[in-house]
Amino acid sequence: MISSSAHIARMLARSGLASVIDDRIDAEVVLAQGLSARPAPDVLLAACRRLGVTAADTATLTHSPDGVIAGRAAGMTVVAIAAEPRAEVLAGVGPGRVAPSLAALLDRRLLR
């Protein structure tokens, strides 16, 4: 998980999601490692290194133009998540796909 929040560990614990997250890059890690913020790809590439995967074999889901730019610079598949009119803005920075919501990416059979 990637988050710019300094409180993500606490939020994951409170939500009961901490056990399903393998690793995280958060404000603490960004500061400790001197990583540049988006639109630089530093944070995404650091996550790939920590997980032992190549950027080309991953996807990033983002809701911001800077996230799209960072994902493209990292060499990832980029999926922008936004409804209109924001979707048009994100499409303009070149993601591989724009979806109106995370639910739109699910196999319809999973929603039953």
Is the pLDDT reported for residue 80 higher than 90? yes
Per-residue pLDDT, averaged over 60-82, amounts to 96
| pLDDT tier for residue 22 given thresholds of 50, 70 and 90 | confident
Nearest C-alpha neighbor of 64 from the set 38, 36, 102, 97? 38
Structure tokens at 52: 């032992």
Structure tokens at 78: 């980029």
- To the question of pTM greater than 0.75 for the whole model, the response is yes
Whole-angstrom Cα distance, residue 61 to residue 67?
A: 8
